[in-house]
Amino acid sequence: MHASLRSVALVFSREFRAYFATPLAAVFLAVFLALSAGMTFFVGGFFERGQADLGSFFAWHPWLFLILMPAIGMRLWAEERRSGVIELLMTLPVRTTELVIGKFLAGWAFTALALALTTPLWLVVLYLGSPDNGVIAASYFGSWLMAGALLAIAACISALTRNQVIAFIGAAILSFLLVMAGFDLVLSALRGWAPGFVVDLVQSLSFLLNFDRLTRGVLEAQTVFLFVSMIVLALWINVQIVDAKKAA
């Protein structure tokens, strides 16, 4: 157990440092912060709302993550397959599961850093009024969980190809379907032929609807379970894909 944790930590450290080996990290963080601020103040009407909360900030996270999480996840495996580094990794005394978990945790920690850099908005709201800090904390937690689920899916798609553009597009499309799952546009298309329990199942998978509950301070076990189970499932599939590629 100790050896496994040490292997995961080594992979995590290597991957996390790799983000800052190039200007990629600074560019990503700058884009995320710029888009978050723009959506909050200009599109979301932060001051026009006249409310001391971060509703206009978190409302755009599902849509921002549709682009940003595939952008982070696309390089996790596709780039290393293209450059041949994956063959070197496979010769190391590290199991595939440890590689997958270490890579994912590095990307998730980088996402946590991006979210942490937005906390000055929380300070602004505290200065302007008396917000419900429990709701804001739950929203940050939910945003991080949702980002983790989308990142795990992006990493899974990345393992299927050596082309980062294809990995990005595939992850963005799948993420979009999961976000849109609760919309009437999707559900009405299902109601014409699918049984009711299928429609309910698809609706329950909607990342947008589940995240909306968290932004209202409703920290339900069902919602947390959805995001965590998505992460676990995507990582398990990721392991199977990498093992299959290794055996081929």
Tens of pLDDT along 194-245?
777 777 787 788 888 888 888 887 777 888 898 999 999 999 999 998 888 7
Q: Which amino acid is at 101?
A: I
**Residues 157-177, buried b or exposed e (16+ Cβ, 10 A)?**
bbbbbbbbeebbebbbebbbe
* pLDDT of the residue at 242: 85
Tens of pLDDT along 72-106?
888 877 666 666 556 666 666 678 888 899 999 99
pTM: 0.89
Q: How many CB atoms lie within 10 A of CB 57?
A: 24
Judged on CB neighbours under 10 Å (0-12, 13-18, 19+), 91 is exposed
Cα atoms in the Cβ-side hemisphere of radius 13 Å centred on 203: 15
* pLDDT of the residue at 92: 64
Question: Can you tell me the mean pLDDT for 4-12?
Answer: 84
* pLDDT of the residue at 87: 61
* pLDDT of the residue at 1: 58
Range of 1-5, 95-99, 145-149 with top mean pLDDT: 145-149
Structure tokens at 80: 């290393």
Q: What is the mean pLDDT of the chain?
A: 83
